[in-house]
Amino acid sequence: MTAEPPYLYCPHCERECLTETPPCVDGHGELCPDRACVECGTALLLDAPLIQLALPGRRPIARRAVRSPRHAA
């Protein structure tokens, strides 16, 4: 595992600040993606999951938007 950079951009302070990993209640341990600005306490997230990847040998799950039925006026 590589160490994450201790300085990240803080949107509240509007500059790069020193960050720390708060105690993880989700069981991630050292791999916890949560960080906090040590100056103002703003929560920051590293590597936010944006997509769900398929498992090796399987195709991604196709998801369709659920539409509500239209009612006649």
Q: Which of 20-24, 33-37, 61-65 has the lowest mean pLDDT?
A: 61-65
The pLDDT, as a whole number, for residue 51 is 54
Confidence of residue 62 (pLDDT cuts 50, 70, 90): low
Give percent above pLDDT 90 in the chain: 32
Tallying the residues shown for the chain, one arrives at 73
Cβ atoms of residues 58 and 52 within 8 Å: no
pLDDT at 6: 86
pLDDT band at residue 1, thresholds of 50, 70 and 90? Answer: very low
- CA dihedral sign, ordered 5, 7, 35, 54: negative
